[in-house]
Amino acid sequence: MLVLCGSTVAKDRAPAALISIIIDDLGNNLQQGRRAIRLPGPVACAILPHTPFGALLAQEAYESRKQIILHLPMQSADGTEPGPGSLQLNMGPSEISATLDGDLRTVPYAIGVSNHMGSLLTQRPEPMRWLMQALADRGNLFFIDSRTTADTVAAKTATELGIPNLERNVFLDDDKNIDVIAQQFERLIALARERGGALALGHPYPETLTVLERLLPELEGSSVLLVAPSVLLEHIKTSTRHPSAPGAYQKDSSAQQTSEQRVR
């Protein structure tokens, strides 16, 4: 059975494709954060640590049965400051572990971690190994690779250490034009139908939220199902064990490259 936010779907009635959507960069704006939480369906909330409204939004998202992800700041290649609680290249394993602990305390109910920025750090195998070991030490946390650089080794390292992980397939709002965001949503659907599942990241921009408020209800009754990230992970794991099954997930080795600017 696939668990879908409290309900179940039998595998013989499973949809042709699954999509997950995560809204990043929550915590600094209460109104935007609450609007993101109100999006229909199991859209996940990625909350920055040490932000004015991060803990409150995490509580409200939890009460709304939305999955919560720590959006962990990491050092960027262009020197832009990623924000408080960031992982830096000069940190050793104990400092990475302690920083992760401090960040998690400010985002209650987090069941996963994703990288905010990090175009420098996610390229480096050693810090990524230390981070994934820290996640392993804390139990059932999964990792989302935002792919802020094509040279990321984050997901690869997570897999090597047995950490459940997903890679971003689509950015919804590189361009904040409403028509372009809608086109990116359709691209997400097409990728999911082709591969069995796909993950999109977006931001709490008014344009992004407007598009999702309009398009997500249209999935009702279609062959595409919006699921929480943990459900997509389970689907991928099952499909990987049975790669010849119809709709088996195919890992995206050419996920869309992006600049650091696009994930702030």
Among the ranges given (11-25, 79-93, 126-140, 208-222), the one the predictor scored with the smallest mean pLDDT? 11-25
CA distances from 39 to 31, 136, 176, 214 (A): 13, 31, 18, 10
Which contacts of 138-143 are long-range, i.e. CB under 8 A and separated by 24 or more positions?
Answer: 138/100, 138/104, 140/111, 141/110, 141/111, 141/112, 141/113, 142/111, 142/112, 142/113, 142/166, 142/229, 142/230, 142/233, 143/112, 143/113, 143/114
Higher pLDDT, 243 or 231: 231
pLDDT computed for residue 244 by the predictor: 43
pLDDT > 60? residue 256? no
Q: Where are the beta strands (DSSP E) in the chain?
A: 2-4, 7-9, 17-26, 44-47, 68-74, 110-117, 142-145, 165-167, 170-171, 197-202, 224-226
pTM: 0.89
pLDDT > 80? residue 109? yes
pLDDT > 90? residue 16? no
With pLDDT > 70 as the criterion, what percentage of the chain qualifies? 85
- Here the tokens at position 258 are 């992006």
